[in-house]
Amino acid sequence: MEGTKILIRALKYGDRKHYEWQTTLLEQTDDYIIVKGEPGRVLHHFTKDKQFTMDNWSVEFFPFDKWFTVSVDIRNGEVEGYYCNVAQPAQFDCQVVSFVDLDLDLIQDGGVWSVVDQDDFLENQVKFCYPESLIKEIEARLEELRMLITRKEFPFDGFMEKYISEILKESKHEKK
């Protein structure tokens, strides 16, 4: 139900708590959930044993059948960038969306896409004993994500624009 509070929980391989934050439901289907993050939300980072207060808006997409997540960061009434986690498909249980973050991220900043956190990926392969099949899957899913972006395929085909537009209006209204 739109407007419902949804907890987003990122896990590391082996279902270890990584971080979590509160959002608000925008849309839910059998295939995905879309939420918005509002300024002032607190990100509990269990891996770093810290809390961060987020000062930006976000539109976040969690598919139940794809190996990635998408977050669009909005600050000062403008899209700041995209942040995509390579992750196992999200799961939704009542009011909690959870996903296993598989280290590699594809981000867009200033119109340029780049892969980040390769060092974490290499470290966590050893630390969490990734099976070889998972390592190959992660690399293949990163390439698949790149192709979706390059080809402008769902959800990079303009699908998220209506949600981004709504949040841009809301963020500009709040600035006044």
Q: Average pLDDT, stretch 62-76? A: 96
Condensed to tens digits (0 to 9), the pLDDT of residues 21-58 reads 999 999 999 999 999 999 999 999 998 899 999 999 99
- Residue 113 Cα to chain centre, angstroms: 15
Residues 6+ apart with CB under 8 A from 158: 152
pLDDT computed for residue 58 by the predictor: 96
Res 176: pLDDT: 45
CB 104 within 8 Å of CB 142: yes
The answer to whether the CB of 19 falls within 8 A of the CB of 47 is yes
- What ranges do the domains of the chain cover? 5-175
Residues forming a β-bridge with 52: 43
Q: What is the mean pLDDT of the chain?
A: 94
Exposed / middle / buried, residue 63 (Cβ in 10 Å: 0-12, 13-18, 19+): buried
Given a cut of 70, is residue 175 above it in pLDDT?
no
First to last CA, the chain: 29
pLDDT category of residue 1 using cuts at 50, 70 and 90: low
- 5-175 fold: FomD barrel-like fold (2.40.380)
Amino acid symbol at 135: I
The residue assigned the tokens 């900043």 is: 109
Instruction: Give the type of residue at 73.
Output: D
pLDDT tens figures, 105-126: 999 988 899 999 999 999 999 9
Adjacent-strand bridge partners of 112: 109
pLDDT at 132: 97
User: Which SS3 state, helix, strand or coil, does residue 152 take?
Assistant: coil
pLDDT band (50, 70, 90) for residue 171: confident
Q: What confidence category does residue 174 fall into, taking pLDDT thresholds of 50, 70 and 90?
A: low
